[in-house]
Amino acid sequence: MGKVVIYPGSFDPVTYGHLDVLKRATHIFGKVIIAVANNTSKKYMFSLAERVDLLKEATTGMPGVKVESFDGLVIDYARRKKTNVLIRGLRMTSDFEYEFQIALTNRRLAEDIETIFLMPSERHSFLSSSLLKEVAKFDADISSFVPRCVEERLKGKLRA
């Protein structure tokens, strides 16, 4: 089906950990579609359009990367994009159970679509968007966790 792969997620907001996984995926596959999910059961800090915009800004100059949003099942989105590979990031062992459950559910629904797990570098392995938002509330220096565009927008939202 080609070397285009999908890296789905909510990216609320995108972190250096996400970008590290993305760089690893582009190194292996060449072309990656970052598929920003609109999960109606989640409460987001950033709107879908804002998350897409932040990702586009954070990935400017990264060859082979395209940012899009999607609704519905990621396996249906993958079929529309004519790919059979999903990329998921694993930080800590606590991620594994959740990600494994999703991967097995996707496999049951679509045996032809594979999920590949990539780990970020150690310096980003502890970082989550939830933790980032929590420390940002206390005006902590988050510049080593997120690109400048994300830091500015996040602090702006928290001041509002």
Check residue 3 and give its pLDDT: 79
> 148-159 vs 48-58: helix axis angle to the nearest 10?
150
Check residue 118 and give its pLDDT: 95
C-alpha to C-alpha distances, 94 to 7, 86, 89, 135, nearest whole angstrom:
20, 20, 12, 20
Check residue 122 and give its pLDDT: 84
Check residue 84 and give its pLDDT: 96
Check residue 97 and give its pLDDT: 85
Residue pLDDT tens, the chain, 160 long: 347 999 999 999 999 999 999 999 999 999 999 999 988 888 899 999 999 999 999 999 999 999 999 999 999 999 999 999 999 999 877 778 888 999 999 999 999 999 999 999 888 888 788 888 999 999 899 999 999 999 999 999 988 7
C-alpha to C-alpha distances, 45 to 50, 117, 132, nearest whole angstrom:
9, 26, 12
Nearest to 120 by CA among 142, 141, 146, 92: 92
CB 117 within 8 A of CB 88: yes
67 has which bridge partners? 34
Check residue 89 and give its pLDDT: 92
Check residue 2 and give its pLDDT: 44
Active site residues: 18, 42, 91, 129
Please give the CATH topology (third level) of the domain spanning 4-159.
Rossmann fold (3.40.50)
Q: What is the pTM of this model?
A: 0.93
> 148-159 vs 129-136: helix axis angle to the nearest 10?
50
**E strand residue ranges, the chain:** 4-9, 31-37, 65-70, 85-89, 114-118
